[in-house]
Every structure is written in C-alpha cells, then in structure tokens.
Amino acid sequence: MRNSILLLLLAGLLCTCDRATETTAPELPPPPRHEFPDDKPIKFILDTDSANEIDDLYALAFLLPELDEKIDLLGVNSAQWFHVLSGDSTCYRSQQLNEEILTLAGKMDLPHPMGADMIMGYPWGEYIPRQSPASDFIIEQAMALPEGERLVVMGIGASTNIASALALEPAIADKIVVYVLGFNYFFDKEAWEKGEFNIRRDLNAANYLLNHQDLELHVMPTTVAIQYTWDREDTFDKLDQSGAMGAYLKNKWLERFPDNDSWVMWDVALLQAFIKPEQGEEIVVRTPPENEARNVWLYRDIDEEAMLDDFWTRMEFWQ
Ligand SMILES: [Ca+2]
C-alpha cells in the first residue's frame, strides 16, 4: 500500500513536470525599435487628459518652451477621462485647459484638436474606433511623413484617440511610435495589472494597443512613475520664481489638491524619460496572457533626481 502511494506521488510529480514543460511560453521576437536620426527633431504629438489631476499641465509647461531641439511638437490632443465621479464632458474640460495653457504660453497657433468624449467600443468590450478631430490629426500627420520616417504619439491619459486612429487607418502602425503612461507592473512577479486609472478609463483602447502586433509600444507603468513624487513646499518655492506659468501651475495645485503635501508627477516622468533616454531604463516584457503574445518596451526605473533638476532648469524659460 505504502509503495502504491509512493508510486502515485511520483507519477503525479512527473505529470506536473510534463505540464510545466508544455506550458513554457515560446520565445518571441524582440519588439521593434525605430532609430530616430540624431540630426533632426522628433515629430511629436501629446495626447493629454489635462483636466484630470494636475501633472499633465506640468508636463505641458515642460514641453512648450522651444528649448529642446529634440522635439518638433506638432500638436496637443485632448483626451477623455470619464468615470462615475468625473462629471460629464471630460474631454471638453481637458480641451479647455489645453487652450488655457497654450494661451498663457502664447502658442494658440499650435494645433490642439479635440479628442473623443467616449471610450473605444462598448463598456463590455470591442474595438469600434471613436473618430474625433484628434484621431484625424494623428492619421493626417502620420500619413504626411516621408517613407521610412516616424512620429511619436505620447498618451498621458486614456488611449482612446491613439487606438481609434490606429483602428481607423491601420497604415499608420508603421509610421508612429506610441508611448503611454499607464498600467501597474510588478517586476518581482513579472505581472501586469490593469486596474490603473488611465487603463480603466479605456480598457478597450489599452488592449487594442497591446494586441497590435506591428505597433512599437513603450509603457511607463505607474509602479515606476511613482518615484517622481514632488514635495509641495519645494515645488511652490520654485514655482514662485517661474513667472506667470509658475503662478498658473501653483494655482492648479491649490485648486485641485489643497490638502496634499506632495504629488506624483506621473506624466512628467514619462515625458522626461523619453526626452532624455539616459534618465529612464527600459526592458522588454511580454504582453499579459490575455493579450496577443508579443514583446513591448516597459520602463523599469527612472532617475528622478536628475529629472527634477532638469525640470526646474527648463522652468527658467518662464521667468
Ligand atoms: Ca494624465
């Protein structure tokens, strides 16, 4: 009897080993990575839900000065961030703030198309694109590129406009490189988690980007961006020396989060890591198991101290 049990246990162990061998995921090719030429600025579109939180506006204040020869800013799209507590017209509210900050910066001549006010598809799924001036703008700019060139679309809110543009005009997949701020990623478990604000705001759009085999996708998870947490007192001291833009940003913090002694500058972390690749470390990770199997780029770490120095150096522009 004892021998039979031993044999059964051994058989069970062997089966487990077999199963483990069978389920080992096959190797996948590395994700694409476009090499942008060093001698000219990268064409760039920012897609932002600026009326949600405050960090989008800080990202815009960093991006708008024409100090960086690396970026050729083509336009700023507004994005929705609708949820049960958000109130309505979230995209319109983002649009209003984009126009407010562009006016303050004297840059209303920069294209700033309005995005879609609803998610892609339906609340239960599907990928029906949500056409808007913002999705049209992404398509128009991508299709106007000479053969072999690409532009960057950075989404610092829900990915509705970006995914809709791809669904409306699949030919842009090899003309754009997409950067998004979203998802949680747990490095110890090598696990994604989609219960994050931007992803929840349009899960269909997020899945559409992950599933798109031809798309070069870079993800800054919030579990990494959280390192870029700013102290309020230090921030306000510096904003007081940053002219009308500084006063505007300080006021937004006070209006929205009067009781917060610190704030995470999620979106600014992604923007700065893109502008200075040496301040962000990217690794290759496999998409979540429920998505199409492929590899994408994911930030593992940022140099938040160097970023902060750069931010305040850039803000001298507004003095
Ligand atoms: Ca945002």
- How far does the centroid of ligand 1 lie from the alpha carbon of residue 198, in Å? 8
Cα 172 to ligand 1 centre (Å):
24
What does the pLDDT read at residue 6? Answer: 47
What separation in Å is there between the alpha carbon of 278 and the centre of ligand 1?
23
**Mean of the per-residue pLDDT values of the chain:** 93
Asked if residue 153 has pLDDT above 60, the reply is yes
Q: Which residues pair with 178 in a beta bridge?
A: 153, 217
Using the mean position of ligand 1's atoms as its centre, give its distance from the Cα of residue 81 in Å. Answer: 9
Tell me the backbone φ, ψ of residue 217, rounded to 5 degrees: -120, 130
- Distance from the CA of 51 to the center of ligand 1, in angstroms? 8
Within a domain: 12? no
Confidence of residue 14 (pLDDT cuts 50, 70, 90): very low
Q: What integer pLDDT is reported at residue 26 of this predicted model?
A: 78
From the CA of 181, how far away is ligand 1's center (Å)? 8
Q: For residue 53, what pLDDT band results from cuts at 50, 70 and 90?
A: very high
Quote the pLDDT of residue 68.
Answer: 75
In this prediction, residues 121-126 reach a mean pLDDT of 97
Residue pLDDT, tens place only, 96-113: 999 999 999 999 999 999
**Mean per-residue pLDDT for 197-222?**
98
CA–centroid distance, residue 191 to ligand 1 (Å): 23
What's the mean pLDDT in 115-141? 98
Neighbours of 104 (CB within 10 A): 20
CA of 160 to the centre of ligand 1 (A): 13
- Residue 239 belongs to some domain of the structure: yes
265 Cα–ligand 1 center, Å: 9
Burial class of residue 86, CB neighbours in 10 A (0-12, 13-18, 19+): middle
- Whether 7 has a pLDDT exceeding 70, the answer reads no
Distances (CA, A) of 238 to 230, 234, 242, 245, 284: 12, 6, 7, 11, 37
Domain holding 258, by residue range, is 42-318
Residue 281: alpha-carbon gap to chain centroid:
15
Q: For residue 164, is pLDDT > 50?
A: yes
Window from 22-36, 90-104, 193-207, 267-281 with minimum mean pLDDT: 22-36
Could you tell me the distance, in angstroms and rounded to a whole number, from the CA of residue 55 to the centre of ligand 1? 6
More reliable by pLDDT, 16 or 162? 162
On whether residue 5 sits in a domain, the answer given is no
**Confidence band for 67, pLDDT divided at 50, 70 and 90:** confident
CA of 122 to the centre of ligand 1 (A): 22
Distance 232 CA to ligand 1 centre (A): 19
Ligand 1 center–CA 259 separation, angstroms:
20
What's the gap in Å between 271 CA and the centre of ligand 1? 11
Span from the CA of 293 to the centroid of ligand 1 (angstroms): 27
Joined tokens for residue 161:
């406009």
Q: Over the stretch 175-204, which tens digit does the pLDDT of each residue have?
A: 999 999 999 999 999 999 999 999 999 999
**Where residue 281 sits, what CATH number does that domain have?**
3.90.245.10
Residues 227, 304: contact at Cβ < 8 Å?
yes
Alpha helices for the chain (secondary structure H): 2-22, 55-63, 90-104, 133-143, 160-168, 197-201, 203-211, 222-225, 232-239, 243-256, 266-275, 304-315
**Maximum Cα–Cα distance across the chain:** 87
What DSSP character marks residue 40? Answer: S
59 C-alpha to center of ligand 1: Å? 9
Instruction: Kindly tell me if the per-residue pLDDT of 17 is higher than 70.
Output: no
26 falls within a domain:
no
What is the per-residue pLDDT for 16?
Answer: 47
Distance from residue 119's CA to the centre of ligand 1 (Å): 16
pLDDT in tens, 236-272: 999 999 999 999 999 999 999 999 999 999 999 999 9
- Asked, for residue 83, whether it belongs to a domain, the answer is yes
The number of domains in the chain is 1
The CA 156 to ligand 1 mean position distance, Å, reads 4
Confidence of residue 66 (pLDDT cuts 50, 70, 90): confident
Q: Is the pLDDT of residue 127 over 60?
A: yes
Decide if pLDDT at 3 tops 70: no
Of 109, 91, 104, 117, which Cα lies nearest the Cα of 60?
Answer: 104
In a domain, 9, yes or no: no
